[in-house]
Amino acid sequence: MISGGGQRGRAMRGFERCSAACAALLLLLGLPLAAFGNADLEALMSRLAERRTGHARFTEQHYVALLDRPVTTSGELFYEAPDRLEKRTLQPRPESLRVAAGVVEVENGRMKRSLPVQRYPELGAFIESVRATLAGDLPALRRYFSIALEGSPSRWRLQLTPLDQRLARTVSQVYISGAEAELLQIEVRQADGDRSVMNIQPLP
């Protein structure tokens, strides 16, 4: 996802100059970032929308209450605008999750099937939040989540809170953070306290 920089918007440029240093400082101090305005969110989305394809490696930490320590999975991500997304887990259990034109498919060594997303709310939340963010599809994001944007264009973080009650019962928040037009981290927090943190390294 997420390789190569898009062309920066003119509006962003001025903003960035004065706030980049502060933001970096605040980040270092671990203080909450200043909230973006609505215009900034639209600007970020339109910059994200410029990206047509992406390829990245990911490492994901799963924090499950039942497990004594987090479990790590890793693999690769592929994206093709506007709605093709693949999460190919390679370790420890090869499994591929594909979204194409709204159909979600899971394939492992033994079987391939389309998934009823309703049955896996956290999966649906992950897919739609990532897909809509990558596509810069603000209307889609707003349909499912209330959105808060923090940070600066060079280091931003989206906080997505599900609007749907059923979804909110399992997923409390999705955090997507990035720099410029690249996604760097996706964190899904579940209502039961479990969470997963996915770190993304762009590949050429």
Residues that bind other proteins (CB under 8 A): 60, 62, 64, 66-71, 73, 87, 89, 92-93, 95, 97, 102-103, 106, 110-111, 113-120, 122-123, 170, 190, 194, 196
Token pair of 99 as six digits: 């979204």
* Minimal distance, residue 64 CB to other proteins, in Å: 6
The secondary structure of 113-141, three-state, reads EECCHHHCHHHHHHHHHHHHHHHCCHHHH
Q: Which of 10, 9, 48 is nearest to 156 (CA)?
A: 48
Residue 107's Cβ-count burial label (10 Å; 0-12, 13-18, 19+) is: middle
* Minimal distance, residue 194 CB to other proteins, in Å: 8
* Minimal distance, residue 203 CB to other proteins, in Å: 21
Looking up tokens 């215009």 gives 39
CA distances from 33 to 5, 61, 85 (A): 23, 24, 30
CA distances from 166 to 41, 80, 118, 170, 188 (A): 26, 29, 9, 7, 16
* Closer residue to other proteins (CB): 55 or 62: 62
* Minimal distance, residue 187 CB to other proteins, in Å: 15
DSSP secondary structure code for residue 183 in this structure: E
* Closer residue to other proteins (CB): 17 or 110: 110
* Closer residue to other proteins (CB): 75 or 153: 75
Q: Which of 186, 141, 146 is nearest to 168 (CA)?
A: 146
Residue 182 neighbours by CB distance under 10 Å: 19
* Closer residue to other proteins (CB): 21 or 71: 71
* Closer residue to other proteins (CB): 50 or 194: 194
* Minimal distance, residue 172 CB to other proteins, in Å: 14
* Closer residue to other proteins (CB): 5 or 192: 192
* Minimal distance, residue 98 CB to other proteins, in Å: 10
Task: Reduce the DSSP state of residue 48 to 3 states and report it.
Answer: helix
